[in-house]
């Protein structure tokens, strides 16, 4: 049973559907809870500016929560990007994500905008060296988690999103890349213990047709399983039809990797549930 999705977007940022439409989709999927997580303010990104009215967003989510009381418990979260200004008070939780590389001369380049944009950044900012690019990305991920202590670490290895199309992970660099990602994830796993944080298993890249697997990759999930780091399945949904995208298949994969529990939002609280 999947009680909730806690990584949900709407027309308050780059989602296709309203808060009410997304809530109705969650209810139709049999969920008891839903967590909204609009993108934080990113004025430097015209493609996804994010929340320009945080108080209005919080009020809209709270108002919907009152209307849905007794049917669907709703939480007001934020997907907080590392380069966004600090959020205002009033959120129930944060998903900590990195969507941009370290800016150069005031210019920001997106990690996940498009394969063409990614390839340009790889060639012109990192000289075609994917490992250098990955080092920049994971340094930011680690800094974000360390400094801001989000409850949930968002799409940890987002940098692999376009690999199926661009093939920048090769036989020559795969081992080094895996080592880098695993070292950073090990440090993050250790830190998450201090505030009961968790890592999301995000199916968003799959629903958009970019990847054949959730984030993080299996080699990283195996490390999380061995460290007993809490995980939570999310869809990173931007439209009603993906509210629980491939949750069942993801559960089966996690069972195969040895996971016995996942976290879920149920009755307004993040709780641990058995996968068995």
Burial of 195 (0-12, 13-18, 19+ CB in 10 A): exposed
pLDDT of residue 132: 98
Give all strands of the β-sheet with 93-97 in edge-to-edge order. 4-8, 33-39, 73-81, 93-97, 152-153, 198-202, 231-234, 261-266, 269-274
Three-state DSSP class for residue 174: helix
pLDDT of residue 117: 98
Distance CA 96, CA 265 (A): 17
CATH of domain 4-274: 3.20.20.140
pLDDT tens readout for residues 34-71: 999 999 999 999 999 999 999 999 999 999 999 999 99
What are the boundaries of each domain within the chain?
4-274
- Residue 134 has a CB neighbour count (10 Å cut-off) of 22
Cβ proximity of 90 and 19 under 8 Å = no
Confidence of residue 150 (pLDDT cuts 50, 70, 90): very high
pLDDT of residue 214: 98
Residue 276 reports pLDDT greater than 90: no
Residue 153 reports pLDDT greater than 90: yes
pLDDT tens readout for residues 81-132: 999 999 999 999 999 999 999 999 999 999 999 999 999 999 999 999 999 9
Across residues 222-250, what is the average pLDDT?
A: 98
How much is the pTM?
0.98
């Amino acid at each position: 049973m999947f009680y909730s999705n806690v990584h949900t977007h709407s027309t308050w940022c780059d989602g296709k559907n309203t808060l009410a439409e997304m809530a109705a989709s969650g209810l139709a999927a049999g969920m008891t809870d839903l967590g909204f997580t609009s993108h934080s303010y990113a004025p430097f990104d015209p493609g996804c500016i994010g929340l320009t009215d945080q108080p209005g967003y919080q009020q809209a989510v709270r108002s919907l929560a009152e209307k849905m009381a007794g049917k669907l418990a709703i939480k007001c979260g934020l997907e907080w990007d590392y380069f966004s200004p600090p959020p205002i008070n009033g959120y129930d939780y944060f998903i900590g994500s990195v969507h941009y590389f370290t800016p150069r001369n005031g210019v920001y380049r997106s990690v996940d905008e498009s394969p063409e944009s990614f390839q340009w950044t790889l060639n012109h900012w990192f000289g075609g060296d994917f490992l250098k690019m990955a080092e920049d990305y994971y340094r930011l991920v680690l800094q974000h988690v360390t400094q801001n202590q989000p409850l949930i670490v968002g799409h940890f290895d987002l940098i692999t999103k376009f690999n199926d199309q661009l093939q920048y992970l090769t036989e020559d660099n795969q081992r080094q890349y895996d080592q880098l990602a695993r070292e950073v994830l090990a440090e993050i796993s250790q830190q998450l213990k201090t505030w009961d944080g968790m890592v999301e298993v995000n199916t968003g890249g799959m629903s958009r047709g970019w990847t054949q697997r959730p984030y993080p990759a299996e080699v990283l999930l195996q490390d999380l399983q061995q460290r007993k780091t809490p995980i939570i399945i999310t869809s990173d949904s931007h439209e009603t039809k993906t509210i629980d995208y491939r949750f069942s298949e993801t559960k089966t994969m996690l069972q195969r990797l040895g996971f016995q529990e996942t976290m879920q939002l149920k009755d307004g609280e993040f709780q641990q549930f058995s996968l068995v």
